[in-house]
């Protein structure tokens, strides 16, 4: 059991007050390790809330640098950060929020070659990436490494998320199988996104990570939560593991990771 | 016949209503961006045209949503 300093007791007092968290739950958070893949719209609120919550080790992966068009929603990045590496910009804010937290930065894209190595050793992974090949790659790697993760996606006024506990609940491939054809995917510049949607969805993902680490409540597994912020309609679609899932079904056809090429936000880029 | 679509019960007169036709009737703009679950079971895209719906079926359209990073 962690010995809390006076300062920590104050810092985490609102968690400690919660019957379901308490001193023990807070100690689990401080011992917890979460990897955030993508330091963008979703990764930013996840990073800040996990740091504020005192998750002891937080990794953040991204190869991009901050651009002015990011600032409408990526709240870890400030105007003065334009041009800086996103992971460094995010890490600086996380450390400023909470010096208790160790932040590991990985300035790289995830790929079939490096993802298993990257996620190994983390307790929970958050998908905050912008493209389908990488979303599938995260799903596949987490299932292969048996690491629970939160999937998230946003577009225009909509958001969706599901949590996956490999071997126990439906994975992303159970329901979505394979990435949609690249020419069917609306580009970010065509479609746009309301900035606050990133916060709505990202904070749900952060809450799932905190629930997992503290063992509180029931995760958003075997369900896809989707919302339309125009009407504020939220809907939970029940999912279940599919016997014929190519990844986690009874006779899987996907047994190793591979990279898929796809146009992203109007740019051709490697997943 | 009554079919539940995305949790809402709807009435359909059409006989031999297929999943493909349902996607058209419901004006799903890009069917490539939708995965379909029929009574809780994933339905292969290749099966959309051949799968005829019957009364009481529950159909879920699961939209691919890819944004979040950049």
Indicate which of A194, A197, A224 best probes the interface with B, i.e. most B CBs within 10 Å of its own CB. Answer: A224
Residue pointed to by tokens 């997992």: A212
A129 touches chain B (CB under 8 A): yes
Within a 10 A sphere around the Cβ of A24, how many other Cβ atoms? 13
Q: What is the predicted ipTM?
A: 0.90
pLDDT at A191: 84
pLDDT at A61 over 70: yes
Average pLDDT taken over every residue of chain A: 93
Cα–Cα–Cα angle for A192, A160, A12, rounded to 5 degrees: 105
Nearest-Cα distance to chain B for A18, in Å, is 31
CB pairs under 8 A between A and B: 96
A175 touches chain B (CB under 8 A): yes
For A129, which of B7, B40, B69 is closest by C-beta distance?
Answer: B69
**Cβ–Cβ < 8 Å for A113, A254:** no
Q: B30: closest CA among A270, A191, A242?
A: A191
For B70, which of A40, A159, A239 is closest by C-beta distance?
Answer: A40
Query: Is B28 part of any domain?
Result: yes
Query: Is B44 part of any domain?
Result: yes
Residues A230-268: tens digit of each pLDDT: 999 999 999 999 999 999 999 999 999 998 765 454 443
pLDDT at A259: 87
Residues 28-57 of B with CB under 8 A from A: 30, 32-33, 35, 37, 40-42
Q: How many domains does chain B have?
A: 1
A119 alpha-carbon distance from chain centroid: 12
Which residues of chain A make contact with B35, given a CB cutoff of 8 A? Answer: 175-177
Split at pLDDT 50, 70, 90, the class of A269 is: very low
For B32, which of A181, A235, A244 is closest by C-beta distance?
Answer: A181
pLDDT at B15 over 70: yes
B65 touches chain A (CB under 8 A): yes
For A132, which of B7, B62, B66 is closest by C-beta distance?
Answer: B66
CA separation for the pair B19, B25 (Å, rounded): 10
pLDDT at A60 over 70: yes
pLDDT at A183 over 70: yes
Which residues of A165-250 form beta strands (DSSP E)? 223-228, 233-238
Domain boundaries, position B30 = 2-63
Nearest-Cα distance to chain B for A131, in Å, is 5
pLDDT at A1: 56
Which of A87-101, A195-209, B10-24 is predicted with the least confidence, judged by mean pLDDT?
B10-24
* Residues A138-159, mean pLDDT to the nearest whole number: 97
**Cβ–Cβ < 8 Å for A101, A56:** yes
Query: Is B69 part of any domain?
Result: no
Burial class (CB in 10 A: 0-12, 13-18, 19+), B7: exposed
Is pTM beyond 0.90 here?
yes
Residue of A188, A245, A248, A265 marked active site = A188
Respond yes or no: is residue A171 known to be catalytic: no
Indicate the DSSP class of residue A215.
Answer: T
Q: How far apart are the first and last CA of chain A?
A: 41
Domains of chain A by range and CATH? 32-270 (3.40.50.720)
pLDDT at A270: 40
CA separation for the pair A126, A203 (Å, rounded): 11
Which residues of chain A form beta strands (DSSP E)? 33-37, 57-61, 102-106, 124-127, 149-155, 158-164, 223-228, 233-238, 261-264, 267-270
pLDDT at A268: 39
A32 touches chain B (CB under 8 A): no
A222 touches chain B (CB under 8 A): no
| Domain at B54, CATH number | 3.10.20.30
pLDDT at A110 over 90: yes
**Cβ–Cβ < 8 Å for A48, A65:** no
């Amino acid at each position: 059991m962690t010995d809390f300093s006076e300062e920590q007791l104050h810092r985490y007092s609102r968690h400690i007050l919660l019957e379901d968290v308490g001193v023990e739950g807070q100690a689990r958070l401080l011992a917890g390790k979460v990897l955030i893949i993508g330091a963008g719209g979703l990764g930013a609120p996840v990073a800040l809330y996990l740091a504020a919550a005192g998750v002891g080790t937080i990794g953040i992966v991204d190869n991009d640098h901050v651009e002015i068009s990011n600032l409408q929603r990526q709240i870890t990045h400030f105007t003065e950060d334009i041009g800086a590496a996103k992971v460094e910009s995010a890490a600086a804010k996380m450390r400023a929020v909470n010096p208790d937290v160790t932040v590991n930065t990985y300035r790289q894209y995830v790929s079939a070659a490096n993802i298993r190595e990257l996620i190994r050793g983390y307790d929970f992974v958050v998908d905050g990436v912008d493209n389908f090949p990488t979303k599938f790659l995260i799903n596949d790697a987490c299932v292969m490494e048996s690491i629970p993760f939160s999937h998230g996606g946003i577009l225009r006024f909509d958001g969706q998320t599901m949590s996956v506990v490999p071997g126990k609940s439906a994975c992303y491939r159970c329901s979505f199988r394979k990435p949609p054809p690249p020419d069917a995917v609306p580009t970010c510049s065509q479609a746009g996104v309301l900035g606050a949607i990133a916060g709505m969805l990202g904070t749900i993902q952060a809450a799932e990570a905190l629930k997992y680490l503290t063992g509180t409540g029931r995760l958003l597994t075997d369900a896809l939560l989707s919302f339309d912020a125009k009407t504020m309609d939220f809907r939970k679609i029940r999912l279940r593991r599919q016997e014929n899932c190519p990844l986690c079904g009874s006779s899987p056809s996907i047994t190793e990771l591979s990279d898929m090429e796809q146009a992203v936000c109007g740019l051709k880029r490697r997943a | 016949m009554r079919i539940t679509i995305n949790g809402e019960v709807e009435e359909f007169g059409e006989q031999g209503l297929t999943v493909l036709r349902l996607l058209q009737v419901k004006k799903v703009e890009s069917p490539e961006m939708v995965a379909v679950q029929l009574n809780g079971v994933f339905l292969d895209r290749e099966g959309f045209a051949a799968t005829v719906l019957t009364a009481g079926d529950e159909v879920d359209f699961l939209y691919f949503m890819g944004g979040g990073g950049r």
